[in-house]
C-alpha cells in the first residue's frame, strides 16, 4: 500500500510504504523528532533546547535550536541551511544565545538575541572551531580547534602521496582566546577595510577608514601550545584561569594519559594539578572556584572498563582530593555544581536518577523527580529555576521547566507524535540464569495480548556490554520492534550480565565469561517465557548490534533453538577483533589476557570456535569502515557459515563505520531485518519497495 505524505524538513513528497500487518511505516518511525539538551539562562527567563529531525532529501539528520521564553509557547530559534545548529549557551548577561553551526565557512560561533532576529557571526576562524565556553563576565570566549596541516605535512603529501603510520595519524587540538565586543560583531563588514597595497584612493578619509574606523571580527589568540591535545575545559568562576584535560594526543587509547591542568589566562602559565597513572578528567568547578570534581581510575588500567567509575573533589587550598558518591553502585556522571549543590546522574535498575552529593562527606541522596528517566538538568545561575529533559516509560523524551524541588511543567509535546500509534505494552521482568544470577529485561506485548495464546518470540540484544534496554514506546535503530509486536509477536530485550544499571558485581560477571554467560542469560530468558506458556518455540529469532551482534553470533554457532539470527557489527573471533579494533584494552580487560598468553580463553569465548555446529540461517550486517568491530569479523563468520552450508547473507553498508547513522541506510537495514525474520520465523515474503 502506498501513501504520500510530507515529512518534517522536506520540500518534496516521498513515497511511504506500509509493511504487512504494520500500521506505522518504517519511514515515519525513523522520522520521529527528538528533543534534548535544555539550557536555561542565568536570569531563568529563557530555555533553549535542541530538536532533532530527519532530512530525507540530504540523507541526514538536522538539529536546530528552539526557545521557550517566560513560559510562552516555544518557537524555533535557528535555521541553518544544509547543516545543524548545536552547542547552545547563553551569554552570562542572558541577552543572547550562542551556538555553533557550519553556514558555509566551516563551524563557527554565532549569537542570536533571546528576542529573535538574525544570528550574528562571532568567529571567522579559517580552520573552524570544535567547542567553546564564555568567560563568567561575558567578555571573552575560549574555544578549541584542531591544528591544520603544517607546511611540512603538505609538502610530504604533495611529494609522496597519501600514507599513514599507525598511531601517528592525528592533529593536536589547542585552546584559543577571543575577546568579545558586541559592537564589533554588529558593525563587522559594514565599514570596508582597505589593505594598504590595495587602497583605491590616497585621501585622508580613506586612510582614517583603514585605521581606527575599520571594523572586522575580532581575531583569536592561541592560549595553549605544545605536543599535547586539549580534551575538555572550563573557566574558573573568577575568569582568571581555565582548567583543561591534557593528553598526549587525541587518539582514543590516549585517554589513559590525560591529566588535569590549569592555565593562567594572562600569563599562559600552566600547572598540573591531577596526574595519576591512568586518565584524569575534569568535570565541574564549584561556584566559589575553590574546588572541582573530576573522574579518575587512579592506577587501575586493568579493570576500569567494567568497574564503577570514581569521582573525586580536589581542594585548591589544601591541594588534596577525596572520593565522593561511593554509595552509588553504578557509573556516575556529573550534571552540575551550582549554588543548589553538586548533582550526579546514575542508573538504578531500570530508572535513571539524579543524586545530590554532599561535597564534604561525599554522601549521596536521590532527588524526588517525577520522571522514570532523567536525561539532563540545567540550573539557572541566579535563580532557583531549572530546565530538565527526560521521560516516563510510556512517553518520548520531553523538556520540562520548574523550580528546584518542586513539580515540573512540560514545555514540549514530543509524545504527541505517536498519539494513535499502536505501540507495544512494555513490562519489566526478571528471571534466573543458568548460574543463578538474576537477569532483567523488558518484554514487549501487543495491546490486545491474549494470555491463552502462544506468540512468536523475537529477542533483541543491546550493545555495550554496558548498555541497557529500558521500557519505551517506539524502540528504534534497525530492528522494527514496534511493527513486529503489532504483527503478533512478543519481543524480549535482555539486559544480560554486564549491562548497566545493576551494579559493579553484575557487570563483572562477564569477566572471562563473555559469550558463554550471555548465552545462558538469553536462553534462560527464553525458557522463562516458555515455562509460562507464552511463546511458540518453533517461531523464534534473535538479533543485536555491536556487543549484541557478538552475542547473536555466539548463539548462532552454539545453539539451534532459533529459526533466524541477525548479527549486526558483531565480533566473531576475539583474536581477529583484538588485532584490528581501536579499543584493544577492552578485550584484555574482559578476557584478562592477550591471545599470546592465553589462547584458550579467546577460543572459549569466540563464536568461530564452534562454527561447525552452526545451522541457523544468519543475516550479517556491517559497516564498511568499522574501526570498533572491524569488518574482517563479518567476513570470517560469513565464510564459515557458507562453508557449512548454512543459509546466510552478508550486507555491507558502504561508507559507514560502527553505526548506521543516515536515514536511508537505516531504512534499508530495517527492511533487511524485516525480510529476514519474516521469511524464517513467520514464513512470509515481503519485498522491499523499489517502484
More confident residue, 144 or 71: 144
Residues 653-688 have pLDDT tens digits of 999 999 999 999 999 999 999 999 999 999 999 888
Give residue 423's pLDDT band: very low, low, confident or very high (50, 70, 90): very high
CB atoms within 10 A of CB 555: 28
* Residue 92, Ramachandran bin (φ over 0: left; ψ between -120 and 50: alpha; else beta): alpha
How much of the chain exceeds pLDDT 70, in percent?
Answer: 93
Q: Is the pLDDT of residue 52 over 90?
A: yes
Query: If you search the block for the grid coordinates 516458555, which residue do you land on?
Result: 530
Cβ atoms < 10 Å from Cβ of 153? 12
Does residue 465 have a cis bond before it (omega within 30 degrees)? yes
Helix (H, G, I), strand (E, B) or coil at 51: strand
Q: Is the pLDDT of residue 340 over 50?
A: yes
- Say if residue 15's pLDDT is above 50: no
pLDDT tens-digit readout, 505-560: 999 999 999 999 999 999 999 999 999 999 999 999 999 999 999 999 999 999 99
pLDDT of residue 7: 31
The Cα 547–Cα 568 span in angstroms is 9
Supply the angle between the helices 516-531 and 547-558 in degrees, to the nearest 10: 70
- pLDDT above 50 for 582: yes
Q: Residue 83 is placed in which grid cell?
A: 547543516
Cα 194–195–199 angle (5° rounding)?
60
Alpha helices in 25-150 (DSSP H): 26-30
Distance of CA 185 to the CA centre of its chain: 33
H/E run at residue 379:
strand 373-379
Which pLDDT belongs to residue 182?
Answer: 82
- Distance from C-alpha of 373 to C-alpha of 36, rounded to nearest angstrom: 13
Indicate the helix (H) or strand (E) that contains 356: strand 351-357
Average pLDDT over residues 432-449: 97
CA proximity to 332, closest of 501, 509, 505, 547: 501
Q: What is the mean pLDDT of the chain?
A: 92
- Give CA–CA dist 400/411, Å, rounded: 5
- Tens of pLDDT, residue by residue over 353-374, are 999 999 999 999 999 999 999 9
User: Residue 188: what pLDDT?
Assistant: 61
Beta-bridge partners for 230: 246
**What grid cell was written down for 116?**
529573535
Tell me the domains of the chain and their CATH numbers.
257-367 (2.120.10.30), 422-680 (3.40.50.1820)
d(CA 459, CA 562): 10
Distance from C-alpha of 45 to C-alpha of 57, rounded to nearest angstrom: 36
Largest CA distance in the chain: 95
Residue 150: pLDDT band by 50, 70, 90 thresholds? confident
What's the rounded Cα separation, in Å, for the pair 94 and 474?
37
**Measured between alpha carbons, how far is residue 39 from residues 218, 392, 631 in Å?**
26, 21, 40
Reported as a single tens digit per residue, the pLDDT across 276-334 is: 999 999 999 999 999 999 999 999 999 999 999 999 999 999 999 999 999 999 999 99
**Whole-number pLDDT of residue 213:** 53
Cβ of 425: how many Cβ atoms within 10 Å? 15
Amino acid at each position: 500500500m502506498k501513501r504520500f505524505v510530507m515529512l518534517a524538513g522536506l520540500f518534496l513528497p516521498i513515497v511511504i510504504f506500509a509493511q504487512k500487518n504494520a500500521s506505522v511505516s518504517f519511514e515515519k518511525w525513523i522520522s520521529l523528532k527528538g528533543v534534548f539538551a535544555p539550557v536555561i539562562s542565568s536570569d531563568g527567563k529563557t530555555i533553549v533546547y535542541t530538536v532533532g529531525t530527519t532530512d530525507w532529501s540530504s540523507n541526514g539528520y538536522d538539529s536546530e535550536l528552539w526557545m521557550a521564553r517566560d513560559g510562552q509557547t516555544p518557537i524555533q530559534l535557528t535555521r541553518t541551511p544544509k547543516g545543524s545548529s548545536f552547542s547552545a549557551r547563553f551569554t552570562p548577561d542572558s541577552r543572547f544565545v550562542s551556538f555553533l553551526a557550519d553556514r558555509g565557512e566551516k563551524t563557527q560561533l554565532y549569537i542570536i538575541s533571546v528576542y529573535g532576529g538574525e544570528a550574528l557571526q562571532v568567529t571567522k576562524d579559517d580552520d573552524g572551531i570544535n567547542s567553546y565556553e564564555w568567560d563568567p563576565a561575558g567578555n571573552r570566549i575560549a574555544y578549541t580547534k584542531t591544528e591544520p596541516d603544517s607546511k611540512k605535512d603538505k609538502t610530504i603529501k604533495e611529494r609522496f602521496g597519501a600514507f599513514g603510520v599507525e598511531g601517528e595519524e592525528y592533529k593536536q587540538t589547542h585552546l584559543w582566546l577571543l575577546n568579545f565586543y558586541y559592537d564589533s560583531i554588529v558593525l563587522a563588514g559594514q565599514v570596508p577595510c582597505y589593505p594598504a597595497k590595495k587602497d583605491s584612493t590616497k585621501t585622508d578619509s580613506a586612510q582614517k577608514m583603514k585605521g581606527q574606523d575599520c571594523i572586522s571580527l575580532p581575531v583569536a589568540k592561541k592560549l595553549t601550545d605544545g605536543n599535547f591535545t586539549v580534551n575538555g575545559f572550563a573557566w574558573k568562576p573568577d575568569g582568571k584561569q581555565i582548567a583543561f584535560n591534557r593528553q598526549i594526543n587525541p587518539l582514543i587509547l590516549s585517554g589513559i594519559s590525560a591529566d588535569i591542568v590549569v592555565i593562567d589566562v594572562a600569563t599562559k602559565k600552566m600547572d598540573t594539578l591531577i596526574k595519576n597513572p591512568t586518565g584524569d578528567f575534569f568535570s565541574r568547578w564549584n561556584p566559589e572556584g575553590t574546588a572541582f570534581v573530576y573522574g579518575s581510575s587512579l592506577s587501575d588500567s586493568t579493570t576500569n572498563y567494567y568497574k564503577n567509575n570514581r569521582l573525586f573533589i580536589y581542594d585548591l587550598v589544601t591541594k588534596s582530593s577525596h572520593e565522593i558518591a561511593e554509595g552509588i553502585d553504578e557509573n556516575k556522571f556529573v550534571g552540575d555544581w551550582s549554588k543548589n549543590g553538586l548533582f550526579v546522574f546514575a542508573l538504578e535498575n531500570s530508572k535513571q536518577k539524579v543524586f545530590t552529593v554532599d561535597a564534604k562527606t561525599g554522601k549521596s541522596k536521590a532527588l524526588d523527580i517525577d520522571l522514570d528517566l532523567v536525561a539532563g538538568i540545567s540550573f539557572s545561575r541566579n535563580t532557583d529555576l531549572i530546565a530538565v529533559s527526560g521521560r516516563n516509560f510510556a512517553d518520548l523524551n520531553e523538556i520540562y521547566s520548574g523550580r528546584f524541588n518542586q513539580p515540573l511543567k512540560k514545555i514540549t509535546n514530543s509524545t504527541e507524535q505517536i498519539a494513535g500509534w499502536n505501540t507495544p505494552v512494555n513490562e519489566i521482568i526478571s528471571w534466573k540464569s543458568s548460574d543463578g544470577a538474576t537477569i532483567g529485561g523488558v518484554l514487549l506485548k501487543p495491546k490486545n495480548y491474549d494470555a491463552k495464546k502462544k506468540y512468536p518470540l523475537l529477542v533483541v540484544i543491546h550493545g555495550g556490554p554496558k548498555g541497557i534496554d529500558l521500557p519505551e514506546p517506539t524502540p528504534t535503530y534497525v530492528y522494527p520492534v514496534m511493527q513486529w509486536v503489532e504483527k503478533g509477536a512478543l519481543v524480549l530485550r535482555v539486559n544480560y550480565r554486564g549491562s548497566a544499571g545493576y551494579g559493579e558485581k553484575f557487570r563483572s560477571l562477564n569477566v572471562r565469561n563473555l559469550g558463554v554467560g550471555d548465552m545462558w542469560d538469553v536462553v534462560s530468558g527464553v525458557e522463562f517465557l516458555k515455562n509460562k506458556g507464552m511463546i511458540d518455540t518453533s517461531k523464534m529469532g534473535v538479533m543485536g548490534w555491536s556487543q549484541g551482534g557478538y552475542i547473536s553470533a555466539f548463539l548462532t554457532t552454539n545453539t539451534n533453538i532459533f529459526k533466524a539470527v541477525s548479527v549486526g557489527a558483531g565480533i566473531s573471533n576475539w583474536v581477529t577483533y583484538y588485532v584490528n579494533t581501536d579499543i584493544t584494552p577492552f578485550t584484555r580487560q574482559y578476557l584478562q589476557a592477550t591471545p599470546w598468553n592465553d589462547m584458550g580463553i579467546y577460543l572459549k569465548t569466540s563464536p568461530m570456535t564452534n562454527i561447525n555446529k552452526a545451522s541457523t540461517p544468519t543475516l550479517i550486517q556491517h559497516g564498511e569502515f568499522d574501526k570498533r568491530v572491524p569488518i574482517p569479523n563479518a567476513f570470517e563468520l560469513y565464510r564459515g557459515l557458507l562453508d557449512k552450508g548454512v543459509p546466510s547473507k552478508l550486507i555491507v553498508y558502504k561508507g559507514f563505520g560502527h553505526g548506521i547513522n543516515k536515514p536511508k541506510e537505516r531504512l534499508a537495514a530495517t527492511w533487511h531485518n524485516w525480510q529476514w525474520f519474516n521469511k524464517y520465523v513467520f514464513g512470509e515474503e515481503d519485498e522491499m519497495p523499489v517502484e
